[in-house]
Amino acid sequence: MRHRARSILAAGALLLAGVTAAPAAQARPGSA
């Protein structure tokens, strides 16, 4: 079960990174 918890944690971290990166990308339209 440890491997499953680790994959869930990794997915959560990836989602969190995407959520925090999205507003930053919208704030700078020139970079996109």
- The 10s digit of each residue's pLDDT in 1-32 is 788 999 999 999 999 998 888 777 777 766 55
**pLDDT at residue number 30:** 62
Predicted TM-score of the model (pTM): 0.55
**pLDDT at residue number 31:** 56
Answer whether 9's CB lies under 8 Å from 3's CB: no
